[in-house]
Structure 1
Amino acid sequence: MSVRIELLPVAADTPQEPRREVVQAGSQVEIVAPTGMVGQLHVQGFEIFSTTTTQRELRFRADDPGTYVVEADETGQQLVVLEVLPVSSD
């Protein structure tokens, strides 16, 4: 399964709650940074970084169930809480 998450522009000085996304373990996740975002995206727990000025898309396979945070590394602002659900054995 493939999941695309497009981030919305946010002002660094305007605190806001991160949005929540849920995917199944094994999903291919693509996170797209908004145009004009500076710095890196960081997926805590997967330890994946992307320089948004040269690469607006960050792709990875969400293999491990758990809760992960996607943040703007420069400001520490949490953008997305990504919940990876285990694959059901039904």
Structure 2
Amino acid sequence: MSKELLIIANKFLIGEISAIDFVEVYIEKWRSERNASLLLKDDPNLSEILSTIFCYADLFNPENDRKPYEYDELTLKNNIKQLITEKKLIFLKN
């Protein structure tokens, strides 16, 4: 369930996977869990965090011609870190 989504996000934050790989895997896994109604079983706070990370991932654009609202890798990483800090979500350590 959501533990896998958290592990994927954590791997990105600690540098084990690239932003491109993170976005691809996270979005695919999130959609799969949503379609299987697994996300509905999560605590509402956790569900909000996972959905917000999905939105951040969806805004990622690795190209230099990104729109002002799109994220580069650093912005993506910083926004996810800020979100988990604000929500006091603890990730696995490196």
TM range (shorter): 0.3 to 0.5
Give the structure-2-normalised TM-score: 0.31
Give the structure-1-normalised TM-score: 0.32
Q: Which has the higher helix share?
A: 2
Q: Which has the higher strand share?
A: 1
